[in-house]
Amino acid sequence: MNLGDLSAIQPELVLVALGCLLVLTDAFVPSLRSRFGSMAAIGAGIALVVRWTSPTPGMVWSGALVVDELARFVDSYILVALVLVCVMAEPYLARTNARFGEFYALLVWAAVGAMVMAKADHLLVVFIGLELLSVALYVLNAFHRESSLSLEAGWKYLMVGAFAGGALLFGIALLYGASGTFSLSALAPLVAAHTLTGSPLLFLSLALILTGVGFKLALAPFHAWAPDVYQGSPTPVTTFLSVVPKGAALVVLARLIAFLAPAELSPRWTMLLAAIAVLSMTLGNLVAIAQRDVKRMLAYSGIAHMGYALVGLVAFGFDGLSGVLVYLAAYTLMNVAAFTVVSAFSEAEDEPHLLTDLAGQGWRRPVLSLTLGLAMFSLAGIPPTVGFIGKFLVFRAAVNEGLVWLAVVGVLNSLVSVFYYLRVVYYLYMKPLPKREPKYSEPWPARLVAAACAVGIVVLGALPGWVVSAAESAARTLAR
Amino acid sequence: MALEGFLLSALVLTPAAAASLLLLLPKDAEKAHRWIGLVASLLTLGLAGMVWSRFDPSNVAFQLVETRPWLPTLGIAYRLGIDGISLLLVLLTALLQPLVLISSWSSIHQRVKGYVFAMLLLETGMLGAFLATDLFLFYVFWELMLLPMYFIIGVWGGERRIYAAVKFVLFTLAGSLLMLVGILYLSYLHKAQTGAWSFAYEDIRSLTIPMGEGFWHSPQLLLFAAFALAFAIKVPVWPLHTWLPDAHVEAPTGGSVILAGVLLKLGTYGLLRYNRPLFPEAWERATPLFLWLAVIAIIYGALVSWAQKDMKKLIAYSSVSHMGFIILGLFAGTVASTQGALIQMVNHGLSTGALFMLVGVVYDRRHTRLIEDYGGLAAVMPLYTGAFLIATLASIGLPGLNGFVGEFLILTGSFPTHPVAVILASTGIVLGAVYMLTLVQRVFWNPLVHEENRTLADLTWREALAFTPLAVFMVWIGVQPGTFLRLSEAAVRHLVGGGL
């Protein structure tokens, strides 16, 4: 092992040390607890800077990890999400009297897990990353110990996570049986030499891996856990859960598709992925209409959004992959924005976050409401927001690959989604204030995160050049 | 010289810049909000005037062109340009906006900041959609109009405003999302045929789009349908018009004026700008269908108008009828009929805009729009009566006013190619006179039976100020249509290709 390779994983090292520091500080200097949020956010920010200053040598650690531009893009996305979540978590923890170092430490370590997963070339390293991510999240979901909903969320995520992890591991084992290798990039020459063509073991293993990843992405029909877990988990954890694991899992799927080219092995794979995408979009959007709890609504909207993102992977190629990456960046901003505001608009965390709580707030709390409105428009894919750019790129990839029908299904789904996204705006701006005015706190961190996301949504929507070209150079590592 | 490089951008972005300025002001500085809105829209009007003065009507290419890189790897750029087809509509938009702000000076009292903000953003969207020469940019501006209008109807509208606002959004989006797929497919075709990505209007226009066999296997027919659906919903072409009466009735006066004055024109503009030149064979195929839909819209809209009890609803349905004439002119496809359709878009914007504004005037005083609640206003409000009469006569096409020019050109231009449709459509003119004059009769000349009408105040100077420019243009176009027709003639001749 070459010690010089350590320089490639400096950001991970920073985060691991940060997590240890937070836990130790909590034990020995508990008076600093009110500073943990900013410490974690600054630490994650440093990791982000380190990511962009440290080299991207490609394959390191004898092929365990690939630190390339794709990894850098995904890392940046995870770290930005982490910074935002750390900032928004501070007022939440203050309200629930749970300012513990573990919270941030687990969050930071979960992010390390996601980062490892996204840059792993060795399938067992993928699994290790996934477990690091998931185990940290099991605890975080149930962090709000007095709330039965939170405990239920932790328990559900644990059960489903264990099942998904098992499926993934079994799939990896079968893939090893079929191909004799754990390395994703070593699969490409085998595929090219037609050694794997028609292997039943391979198809079984792909199905199992897809199941495992599908659970993490909450794609239909592997989605049933999402609404309960989203609703029950502490809102900052829900935010993290709704963006970080999904990004990492999508990249794993992208690497698998790039090296294994399942479409060449069997065209049915494309149809299967397309069917999952259509099912996720349709089911997510239709069921979201019936939701009264905003967090549950966002859970179903998340299912639909992973369906849209999957459209990019179905099309694949350079366009599809860069589209998915932009989509992820967009999805992070709008989801963080939405959850931050929803959290600030609830009187007590253990109560449901009802749509009716938003009534008439638009004219009372301009910054938060405008952010939530923008997040909704962005989720609906209405220009000039970044959500539109993301959707535009994945649908474009589908059209360019001859999947016009998939793009049509996608846009019709967007139409359905507009209905429930606009309902949030309707409650905010067109409903009168309730007679008993709710007591909402509007702490500055929430406002800061909301404003940052709002600016991001609009600026990246109007001037997407920067993020698109970053995504394109990242996509170039896997596809031409 | 330097000014030409960003004149169109300045035109499009001035309202948006003023809107962002508004965000920085405190909520209760209502006077400042109104003035910023008015000054910005007047500035935009001035810029539009400069564009007019620099426009060369004999040049058929896009003028004052601006191109800035946006997403270069995808062939997307920020491209603006103006030609004879968009110039008139840009002028109309820039003219209506300050008038709307003036007319809502005394009718909008709540959330003034939000109202002015939405209006300014809407103006940017409308101007951008007329001036964009890149399909991606066009789509962005097209959708940008949606949200401000949603808010204008939903926040400042009448009783059933939520229903109307949501219906408006869903109808519009249903069309435009399919158009988005169409736009994507066009860029894909460009890549397939030339090897380069592009969303530029002129690049797309140079493509030959295959006709194929049957409907479902014909790229050109499908693309035509995707674009035409988006535009037909906006126009609205019968039977896609059902959102219009709801939106109009529930919208506040200013919203109705902009909706009827400009937003509907974007539909007909889109048909002329995109469907006709990009999909010529499909256009030929679709012509009979659209001609019949136009004739149905003309007669149906007029008959339904006749039956209305609510003044705003009456004018809303009359829009369906008038827009039918424009569709007829566009699809009849001669130079004269297309010119007529173009000038009629402006005419309809002026006269219907004026009518909605005037209905708003009495609504502000009496809070009712029912025709039966009025009567005998001619004696009480002489100035108002005169204004209403001018707008009515313009709307029904009295010679000497603008409506006559448009309808005459459409009908004479279409007659050589489609006599039957023209004969049927002509009944619409008669019906138009019937329902509009009945309205005038009942509101202004019937006996004054409601006591509360006896004390109604006549037009205030502000209301008169908002109406006067519209009246000036109604007469100007009516008496000297050449000034305006000349601007678009070369462009239309180039687009339609010879003929009459």
Dump pLDDT digits (tens) for A137-150.
998 888 887 788 88
Chain B residues whose CB is inside 8 A of the A415 CB are 170, 173-174, 177
Please name which of B41, B16, B22 lies closest in space to residue B99, comparing C-alpha atoms: B41
Q: Which of B278, B309, B324 is the last residue of a domain?
A: B278
Find tokens 């994507």 and name the residue: B184
Do B417 and B323 have their domain in common? yes
What pLDDT score was predicted for residue B500?
Answer: 42
DSSP letters of A151-197?
HHHHHHHHHHHHHHHHHHHHHHHHHHHHHS--BHHHHHHHHHTTSST
Chain A residues whose CB is inside 8 A of the B188 CB are 396, 399-400
What pLDDT score was predicted for residue A116?
Answer: 93
Chain A residues whose CB is inside 8 A of the B166 CB are 419, 422, 426
ipTM: 0.90
Q: Pick A422's closest partner by Cβ from B166, B177, B181.
A: B166
For an interface test with A, the pick among B109, B184, B221 (most A C-beta atoms closer than 10 Å) comes out as B184
Chain A residues whose CB is inside 8 A of the B144 CB are 383-384
Verify whether the Cβ–Cβ distance A396 to B184 is below 8 Å.
Answer: yes
What pLDDT score was predicted for residue B495?
Answer: 85
Do B367 and B236 have their domain in common? no
For an interface test with A, the pick among B110, B181, B216 (most A C-beta atoms closer than 10 Å) comes out as B181
Task: Write out the residues of chain A at the interface with chain B, using a CB-CB cutoff of 8 A.
Answer: 363, 366, 377, 382-384, 388, 392, 395-396, 399-400, 404, 407-408, 411-412, 414-415, 418-419, 422, 425-426, 429-430, 464-465, 468-469, 472
Do B227 and B307 have their domain in common? no
Q: CB contacts < 8 Å between A and B, how many?
A: 80
Furthest-apart CA atoms within chain A: distance in Å: 72
Do B5 and B78 have their domain in common? yes
Summarize the confidence of residues A337-352 as an average pLDDT: 81
Do B391 and B296 have their domain in common? yes
For an interface test with A, the pick among B20, B24, B71, B139 (most A C-beta atoms closer than 10 Å) comes out as B71
Do B76 and B224 have their domain in common? yes
Do B60 and B175 have their domain in common? yes
Furthest-apart CA atoms within chain B: distance in Å: 74
Residue-wise pLDDT for A373-394, tens only, equals: 999 999 998 888 999 999 999 9
For an interface test with B, the pick among A377, A385, A400 (most B C-beta atoms closer than 10 Å) comes out as A400
Q: Which of B228, B254, B278 is the last residue of a domain?
A: B278
Q: Which residue of B has its CA nearest to A423?
A: B166
CA dihedral A319, A321, A324, A325 (to 10 degrees): -110
Residues 6+ apart with CB under 8 A from A394: A308, A309, A311, A312, A315, A320, A323, A324, A327, A410
Q: Pick B170's closest partner by Cβ from A388, A415, A472.
A: A415
Give percent of chain B with pLDDT exceeding 70: 99
Distance CA B225, CA B215 (A): 10
Do B100 and B197 have their domain in common? yes
Hey, which residues does B80 pair with through a beta bridge?
Answer: B66, B132
Instruction: Calculate the alpha carbon distances from B267 to B260, B327, B330 in Å.
Output: 11, 10, 12
Domain count, chain B: 2
Find tokens 């009359």 and name the residue: B318
Distance CA A254, CA A270 (A): 13
**Residue A49: pLDDT over 50:** yes
Distance CA B369, CA B351 (A): 18
Q: Which residue of B has its CA nearest to A389?
A: B140
For an interface test with B, the pick among A409, A420, A422, A473 (most B C-beta atoms closer than 10 Å) comes out as A422
Please name which of A29, A95, A109, A116 lies closest in space to residue A443, comparing C-alpha atoms: A95
Do B180 and B266 have their domain in common? yes
Mean pLDDT of chain B: 88
Please report which confidence band the pLDDT of residue A248 belongs to, taking 50, 70 and 90 as the band edges.
very high
Residue-wise pLDDT for A64-88, tens only, equals: 888 888 999 999 999 999 999 999 8
Chain A residues whose CB is inside 8 A of the B177 CB are 411-412, 414-415
Verify whether the Cβ–Cβ distance A404 to B185 is below 8 Å.
Answer: yes
Do B45 and B167 have their domain in common? yes
Half-sphere exposure of B173 (CA within 13 A, CB side): 26
Chain A nearest C-alpha distance from B256 (Å): 19
Q: Which of B278, B297, B324 is the last residue of a domain?
A: B278
What pLDDT score was predicted for residue B499?
Answer: 46
The SS3 of residue B81 is strand
Q: Does B191 touch chain A (CB under 8 A)?
A: yes
Q: Pick A395's closest partner by Cβ from B143, B174, B181.
A: B181
Chain A residues whose CB is inside 8 A of the B169 CB are 418, 422
Do B353 and B304 have their domain in common? yes
Verify whether the Cβ–Cβ distance A384 to B154 is below 8 Å.
Answer: no
Chain A nearest C-alpha distance from B327 (Å): 27
Q: Pick B181's closest partner by Cβ from A384, A411, A469.
A: A411
**Residue A263: pLDDT over 70:** no
**Residue A242: pLDDT over 70:** yes
The SS3 of residue B60 is coil
Handedness of CA B85, B170, A390, B117 (dihedral sign): positive
Summarize the confidence of residues A32-53 as an average pLDDT: 89
Residue-wise pLDDT for B332-381, tens only, equals: 888 889 999 999 999 999 999 999 999 988 888 888 888 888 888 888 88
Give percent of chain B with pLDDT exceeding 90: 34
Verify whether the Cβ–Cβ distance B177 to A411 is below 8 Å.
Answer: yes
Residue-wise pLDDT for B84-124, tens only, equals: 889 999 999 999 999 999 888 877 778 888 899 999 999 99
Q: Which residue of A has its CA nearest to B72?
A: A465
Q: What is the CA radius of gyration of chain B?
A: 22
Instruction: Calculate the alpha carbon distances from B158 to A82, B242, B252, B368 in Å.
Output: 45, 17, 7, 11
Chain B residues whose CB is inside 8 A of the A392 CB are 136, 180, 184
Summarize the confidence of residues A316-339 as an average pLDDT: 90
Q: Which domain holds residue B366?
A: 285-500
Residue-wise pLDDT for B135-155, tens only, equals: 999 999 999 998 899 999 988
Hey, which residues does B310 pair with through a beta bridge?
Answer: B370
Which contiguous run of DSSP H or E holds residue B63?
strand B63-71
What pLDDT score was predicted for residue A266?
Answer: 67
Q: Which residue of B has its CA nearest to A405?
A: B181
Residue-wise pLDDT for B154-207, tens only, equals: 888 878 888 888 889 999 998 899 999 999 999 998 988 888 888 989 888 888
Distance CA A30, CA B318 (A): 74
Q: Pick A464's closest partner by Cβ from B71, B150, B155.
A: B71
Residue-wise pLDDT for B414-471, tens only, equals: 888 888 889 998 898 889 888 998 888 888 888 888 888 788 888 888 888 888 999 9
Q: Pick B178's closest partner by Cβ from A377, A411, A468.
A: A411
DSSP letters of B210-234?
---STTTT-HHHHHHHHHHHHHHHH
The pair of structure tokens assigned to B167 is 């219906």
For residues A126 and A216, the answer to whether their CB atoms sit within 8 Å is no
Please name which of A168, A155, A277, A269 lies closest in space to residue A221, comparing C-alpha atoms: A277
Find tokens 């206003």 and name the residue: B377
Crossing angle for the helix pair A386-400 and B161-194, nearest 10 degrees? Answer: 40
For residues A249 and A222, the answer to whether their CB atoms sit within 8 Å is no
Chain A residues whose CB is inside 8 A of the B173 CB are 414-415, 418
Which B residues in the span 161-180 are in contact with A, Cβ-Cβ below 8 Å? 161-162, 165-166, 169-170, 173-174, 177-178, 180
Chain B nearest C-alpha distance from A222 (Å): 28
Using omega within 30 degrees of 0 as the cis cutoff, is the peptide bond preceding B399 cis?
Answer: no
Verify whether the Cβ–Cβ distance A408 to B178 is below 8 Å.
Answer: yes
Q: Does B431 touch chain A (CB under 8 A)?
A: no
The SS3 of residue A361 is helix
What pLDDT score was predicted for residue A136?
Answer: 92
Which B residues in the span 10-29 are in contact with A, Cβ-Cβ below 8 Å? 27
Chain A residues whose CB is inside 8 A of the B139 CB are 383
**Residue B1: pLDDT over 70:** no
Please report which confidence band the pLDDT of residue A306 belongs to, taking 50, 70 and 90 as the band edges.
very high
What is the β-pairing status of strands A65-67 and B63-71?
A: unpaired
Residues 6+ apart with CB under 8 A from A471: A73, A322, A323, A325, A326, A329
Instruction: Calculate the alpha carbon distances from B396 to B152, B248, B426 in Å.
Output: 29, 20, 12
Chain B nearest C-alpha distance from A416 (Å): 9
Verify whether the Cβ–Cβ distance A408 to B146 is below 8 Å.
Answer: no
Distance CA B378, CA B259 (A): 28
Chain B nearest C-alpha distance from A35 (Å): 32
Task: For chain B, give the number of residues.
Answer: 500
Do B405 and B261 have their domain in common? no
Residues 6+ apart with CB under 8 A from B448: B375, B376, B377, B379, B380, B454
Verify whether the Cβ–Cβ distance A383 to B139 is below 8 Å.
Answer: yes
**Count of H helices and E strands in chain A?**
19, 2
Q: Pick A383's closest partner by Cβ from B70, B144, B185.
A: B144
